[in-house]
Amino acid sequence: MKKLAIVAGVVAITLGGVSYANHLVTQEVKVEVDRQLAMLTEQVGSAISYDELSASVFSQSVELTNLAITSFDGSSVATIDDISVAGYETDKIAPRTEVSINGFKFSDEFVTQLPPDANNLLASARYDLHTLMNYDAESGDSDIKLTIDANDIIAFNFDLGLANSTPLMEASLAASKLQQKSGSQQLTLEQELQQQTIMMEALSGLEPRTIEINLRNQGKFKTLVEQVLEKQGMTLEQMQQMVDMQLQQSPVSDELAQAIKDFTKGLGSLTVSASLPEGQTMTEINQQIFTLMGQPNELAEFINLKAKGE
């Protein structure tokens, strides 16, 4: 019993220590978040507030809940259920960074003020956004995923695989540190030009390996398309015929053209992917692509282009 009591005591102390550490981190993070939001308000003129903020030592995560965005005159612009950031580190490149924005929605007041040609179905939708970046310091490989979900309408997914991404990661980290050091002060022109030069050099050395883009109907996408076409004085059938005619005159591969046709008819999903040659930088691949312009099927073979529409 004494041993069990000792174990229970150690567990309680450990949990209490973690809880206290989380509390301290939360307070520190809150100060920084409030500072950043104040700077953002000065820059864009819109204020962002939140109900609660929590931070975790173990998961290196921060979460804001019940956010409200208001314009300079105090009117409501949008609300967000929660924003979470996990894995982000200020002093080094994190192996995994994840950002989620859940339940972004424009206010009814804001939607009613949109121009007459705006689409109310999209404007009134609830949006979720999720980004994930995995980075392997040993190999220099990175994988970046982006998902944007307009609930009940359409979902967009983007996946990019990169090699030799370490210079870009280091340049981004250096830029972030410089911005933190400068605080609310703007960077000098010399600093900005130096950053741009370093970033461009890092980008030119990137080796894109894979890319995939996917659009998926979440239920009301056909209604959205029909609304957009109606404002342009077109029907769905006329749009499909126009797409067919444009594809006949466009330099796209046979597989991609067929996928686009199938998508415009079914309005279900469209997936386009490519696997690029290994060991070639973005600059070198762009040069190869330029030489194959006007030869869509040969270009599709070079980048291993795959496409499917439903």
Tokens matching residue 108: 């009814």
Shared domain check, 152 and 301: yes
Q: Cα separation of 37 and 53, whole Å?
A: 13
pLDDT tens string 238-288: 999 999 999 988 889 999 999 999 999 999 999 999 998 888 888 888 888
Shared domain check, 120 and 68: no
Shared domain check, 140 and 51: no
State the residue range of the domain holding 290.
Answer: 114-165+206-310
Shared domain check, 82 and 6: yes
User: Pick from 175, 158, 154: which is nearest to 268 by CA?
Assistant: 154
Shared domain check, 10 and 150: no
Q: Is 173 among the domain residues? A: no
Shared domain check, 138 and 2: no
Identify any residues that bridge with 150 across adjacent strands, giving them in sequence order.
Answer: 127, 154
Q: Is 188 among the domain residues? A: no
Shared domain check, 29 and 17: yes
Residues 6+ positions from 279 with CB-CB distance below 8 Å: 207
Identify any residues that bridge with 65 across adjacent strands, giving them in sequence order.
Answer: 52, 82
Identify any residues that bridge with 230 across adjacent strands, giving them in sequence order.
Answer: none
Whether this prediction's pTM lies above 0.85 is answered by no
Shared domain check, 121 and 63: no
pLDDT tens string 152-211: 999 999 999 999 999 888 888 887 777 777 666 677 777 778 878 888 888 888 899 999
Tokens matching residue 88: 């982000």
Q: Is 182 among the domain residues? A: no
Q: Cα separation of 80 and 66, whole Å?
A: 6
Q: Is 259 among the domain residues? A: yes
Residues 6+ positions from 63 with CB-CB distance below 8 Å: 53, 54, 55, 82, 83, 84, 85
Q: Is 184 among the domain residues? A: no
Q: Cα separation of 26 and 169, whole Å?
A: 27
**Domain end position, chosen among 96, 111, 126:** 111
